[in-house]
C-alpha cells in the first residue's frame, strides 16, 4: 500500500502503476496535467486533488485529466477544471475499458464539453453519483474515434449516474487558481 499526500505538479502526469495506491491532496495544473491509473491496477484511490487547465486530447494519447485504466478505482472529492482547448477530443475522466468497476463520486467536474471519455462502446460498469457537472449545461460522454454517438451524461441510467447536479460551481477565483 502506498499513500501519496500533497504536492504540486505543473504540466505533467502522475502515474499510478500498481495496486492499492492512494493519491490524496495533490495540485496538478497546465495543459498536460493528468493522473493516470495503469492497466490492471486494482484498488487505487484518487481523492481530494485539484486538476486545472488540462487539455486532454485522445488523438495525442492524453485521454483525460484522470485516465482510469485500472479495476475498482475510487475517484472521489476531486475538482477537475479542463482548459478551453479540450474541445471534443478530451474529457475530465477517461475510462479505458467499459468494465472498470470504478466508483466516481463527490467530484466537481467543470468542462467546456466532455465529462467522460470511454475507449469502447457500451454501458460502462461504473457507479457515478453525487457529482457536480459545471461549465456546460449538457456535459457529454465521448468515444474513441467516435465509435458511438456522443451522449449527454444525463442520459446514463440512474443505476450508473445517480444524484448528479448541474450548475456553476462558483469558484472563488478560477483565473487565479483558487477553486475553493
DSSP string for 97-144: STT---EEES-EEE-SSEEEEESSSS----EEES-EEESSSS-EEEEG
pLDDT at 137: 66
C-alpha cell recorded at residue 89: 477530443
pLDDT score recorded for residue 20: 97
32 to 12, 54, 111, 140, 156: CA distances (angstroms): 5, 6, 15, 21, 28
Rounded CA gap, 159 and 43, in Å? 21
Going by C-beta distance under 8 Å and a sequence separation of 6 or more, which residues neighbour residue 31?
A: 11, 53, 54, 55, 83, 85
Which residues of the chain are under the pLDDT cut of 70?
85-88, 98-99, 137, 180
Whole-number pLDDT of residue 157: 81
10 Å Cβ neighbour count for 61? Answer: 8
> What span, in angstroms and rounded, lies between the C-alpha atoms of 101 and 104?
10
pLDDT of residue 87: 55
CB atoms within 10 A of CB 172: 9
Its pTM stands at 0.91
Residue 40: what pLDDT?
A: 81
pLDDT tens, 54-91? 999 887 878 899 999 999 999 999 999 998 765 567 89
The kind and range of the H/E element at 51 are: strand 50-54
- pLDDT at residue number 139: 82
Helix (H, G, I), strand (E, B) or coil at 58: helix
Amino acid at each position: 500500500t502506498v499513500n501519496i499526500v500533497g504536492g504540486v505538479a505543473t504540466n505533467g502526469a502522475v502515474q499510478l502503476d500498481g495496486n492499492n495506491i492512494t493519491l490524496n491532496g495533490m495540485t496538478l495544473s497546465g495543459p498536460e496535467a493528468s493522473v493516470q491509473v495503469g492497466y490492471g491496477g486494482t484498488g487505487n484511490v484518487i481523492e481530494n486533488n485539484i486538476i486545472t487547465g488540462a487539455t486532454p486530447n485522445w488523438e495525442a494519447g492524453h485521454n483525460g485529466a484522470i485516465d482510469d485504466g485500472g479495476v475498482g478505482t475510487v475517484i472521489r472529492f476531486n475538482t477537475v477544471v479542463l482548459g478551453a482547448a479540450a474541445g471534443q477530443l478530451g474529457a475530465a475522466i477517461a475510462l479505458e475499458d467499459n468494465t472498470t468497476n470504478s466508483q466516481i463520486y463527490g467530484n466537481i467536474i467543470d468542462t467546456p464539453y466532455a465529462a467522460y471519455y470511454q475507449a469502447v462502446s457500451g454501458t460502462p460498469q461504473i457507479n457515478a453519483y453525487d457529482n457536480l457537472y459545471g461549465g456546460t449545461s449538457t456535459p457529454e460522454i465521448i468515444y474513441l474515434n467516435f465509435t458511438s454517438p456522443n451522449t449527454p451524461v444525463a442520459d446514463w441510467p440512474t443505476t450508473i449516474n445517480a444524484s448528479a447536479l448541474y450548475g456553476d460551481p462558483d469558484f472563488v477565483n478560477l483565473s487565479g487558481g483558487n477553486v475553493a
